[in-house]
């Protein structure tokens, strides 16, 4: 080994170690965030979900072709809705639930669903970091539009989080179950319409959401706060 290769190899080892440390810190931070209602690793997207299509596979090519078709067929209204849903909360479901369902008059409900969504986000982000699937606009740069995300694609955070919110919300409003879940499905699908996700990302998110809600319901804290939210919502509906 010559004198020039030693510092180069040392730099490579340092850089590799830094990458590992950065990833570990990122994962650790996300696990720490998921202490509202979920136990660490339950559910685990990496073991629950089947892996996404292989990069050079026929399945991946078909998945990408679907994104292209959906993206080019999307109406201006669909695209505007998708951009408007970059950030969303349980109050995106107000149209399905009723006009009384507003954050400023429901503090317990707001706080409860913020924690639910944060748990879902944490589980999903850990899955993204495990599978490391590039987003469609990364694979096909012709699909790039608007402000682009730097995170990975599988599973879809929007699909997972919106369906988690919807499933819990539907337990509070069983008579509006179908309308609530339809809203979540639309919110997830809009992400395909702006080429942020593959359809398989969306479907994986829905599967993961069901597993998350199942685990949420095992939490005493979740169950206790759910009852408090029920009371707040009932009182709000009486006042309307």
Crossing angle of helices 107-131 and 5-33, rounded to 10°: 150
Cα gap 221→203, rounded to integer Å: 29
Place of tokens 């819990």: 168
Taking residues 144-151, report their average pLDDT. 96
Highest mean pLDDT: which range of 6-10, 13-17, 39-43, 211-215:
211-215
147 pLDDT higher than 50: yes
Residue range 154-175, pLDDT digits in tens: 999 999 999 999 999 999 999 9
Give pTM, 2 decimals.
Answer: 0.86
Cα gap 226→9, rounded to integer Å: 56
> What separation, in Å, do the N-terminal and C-terminal C-alpha atoms of the chain show?
79
pLDDT at position 3, please? 42
Residue range 31-41, pLDDT digits in tens: 555 469 999 99
At 237, the pLDDT band (50, 70, 90 cuts) reads confident
pLDDT at position 238, please? 74
Q: Which of 113, 149, 117, 129 is nearest to 45 (CA)?
A: 129
122 pLDDT higher than 80: yes
pLDDT at position 240, please? 58
Contact 168, 66 (CB under 8 A): no
Residue range 39-80, pLDDT digits in tens: 999 999 999 999 999 999 999 999 999 999 999 999 999 999
What's the mean pLDDT when you consider all of the chain?
89
Task: State phi, psi for 42 to the nearest 5 degrees.
Answer: -130, 105
């Amino acid at each position: 080994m010559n004198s020039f290769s030693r510092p180069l190899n040392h730099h490579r080892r340092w850089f590799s170690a830094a990458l590992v440390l950065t990833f570990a810190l990122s994962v650790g931070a996300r696990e720490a965030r998921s202490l509202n209602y979920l136990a660490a690793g339950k559910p685990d997207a990496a073991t629950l979900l089947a892996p996404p299509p292989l990069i050079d596979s026929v399945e991946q090519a078909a998945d990408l072709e679907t994104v292209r078709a959906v993206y080019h067929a999307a109406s201006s209204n669909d695209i505007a809705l998708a951009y408007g849903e970059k950030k969303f909360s349980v109050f995106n479901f107000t149209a399905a639930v009723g006009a009384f369902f507003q954050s400023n008059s429901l503090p317990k409900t707001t706080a409860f669903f913020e924690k639910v969504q944060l748990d879902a986000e944490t589980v999903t982000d850990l899955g993204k970091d495990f599978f490391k699937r590039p987003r469609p606009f990364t694979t096909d740069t012709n699909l790039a539009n608007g402000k682009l995300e730097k995170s990975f694609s599988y599973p879809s955070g929007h699909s997972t989080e919106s369906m988690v919110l919807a499933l819990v919300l539907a337990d509070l409003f069983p008579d509006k179950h179908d309308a609530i879940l339809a809203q979540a499905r639309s919110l997830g699908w809009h992400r395909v319409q702006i080429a942020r996700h593959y359809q398989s990302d969306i479907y994986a998110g829905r599967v993961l959401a069901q597993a998350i809600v199942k685990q949420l319901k095992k939490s005493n804290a979740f169950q206790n706060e759910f009852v408090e939210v029920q009371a707040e919502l009932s009182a709000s509906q009486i006042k309307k």
